[in-house]
Amino acid sequence: RLRALNRLQVILQHLKMSKQTDSTAEVLLEKKGGAGIITLNRPKALNALNLPMIQQIYPQIKAWEQDPETFLIIIKGTGGKAFCAGGDIRAITEAGKVGDKLTQDFFRGEYRLNNAVGTCKKPYVALIDGITMGGGVGVSVHGHFRVATEKTVFAMPETAIGLFPDVGGGYFLPRLSGKVGYYLALTGCRLKGRDVLKVGIATHFVESEKLPALEKDLIALKSPSKEKIADLLNSYHMKCTIDQEKEFVLDEHMEKINSLFSANSMEEIVKKLKQDGSPFAMKQLETLNKMSPTSLKLTLRQLREGASMSLQEVLQMEYRLSQACMKGHDFYEGVRAVLIDKDQSPKWKPAALEEVTDEFVDNCFKPLGNDDLKL
């Protein structure tokens, strides 16, 4: 009888918990122990964020922040391939073509969510197992703890689709050591596994198969402080020996990255790369030549300005840039070439850096009056 009763209590407890855990829901929001858990649940779309997901996560973070029984927030993805591969670019493209206001609502909602993560008063733990790009970086990198694994693939590949590394990229990228953030932003270079930790995107590195145990231990912590959470993450991190001996993939190039990407203009960066002439420099030149010239110019300025701004100021600036890109040509052309037709040969307009005028770039950064992002 007692066993049956206990089992009933367990089932009831589970039902209470799973009122939102319908497995078809695109995002699952659960409370387990002292932890609020956000699970991105669009595995077929590599957990890409769409507006309905954003609109569910934002108020939940705000509610947990106020809840005295919630001591930490954990965010993760399902499916084993990706934490979150970005934002729902296709939907935004479709909306932009017909002048639908999703092009405003999406970026507004996403950047507000990025700010909620960046200002969250409760310790926020992102388990960035698998592909973590664009929008996935935005819901992880601004939090207190980011746990990478051997499966993590980080990139901000936006210049290849006529966009710019948004979601607060203008805040965290220029704050990475040397000029590596500028390099990652302009070239869209991918980093894998432990390199994501070494560059400063992740705070901890844990074996992918140990994540369920880590999550269980985080949930089991009794009213933990940030320090206690850090101690637990550190203990897992210290035990992980995968790729421990491996050198940081960009190590041998850091000196070049720091000098070549420190120029004040894109034209100057290109000139420096040509003058350098090393295989590494030529490879970067080849990559930059494929990117939208407009995106490259916007991105360089975004990072240079963002370096001395608060996260809120950066998100406001990026909202202005997002709206400029929605009105332009390159974003739609980039999405067509990379994601829809997949011919990988976008026809950028303007086609050369020299043709993207300072006046045009200045206009993209101008305040939008009543339409500005309010945080």
Q: What amino acid positions are annotated as catalytic residues?
A: 87, 135, 158, 166
Residue 38: which of 50, 24, 54 has the closest Cα? 54
Identify whether the C-beta of residue 122 lies closer than 8 Å to the C-beta of residue 145.
no
Q: Is 112 exposed, middle or buried (0-12, 13-18, 19+ CB in 10 A)?
A: middle
Pairing state of beta strands 145-148 and 204-205? parallel
Q: Rounded to an integer, what distance in angstroms lies between the CA atom of residue 333 and that of residue 53?
A: 26
Tokens in use for 339?
Answer: 């994601």
Identify whether the C-beta of residue 122 lies closer than 8 Å to the C-beta of residue 65.
yes
H or E element at residue 239: helix 226-239
User: Distance of CA 172 to CAs 207, 273, 300, Å?
Assistant: 25, 25, 14
Please report, in angstroms and rounded to a whole number, the separation of the first and last CA atoms in the chain: 55
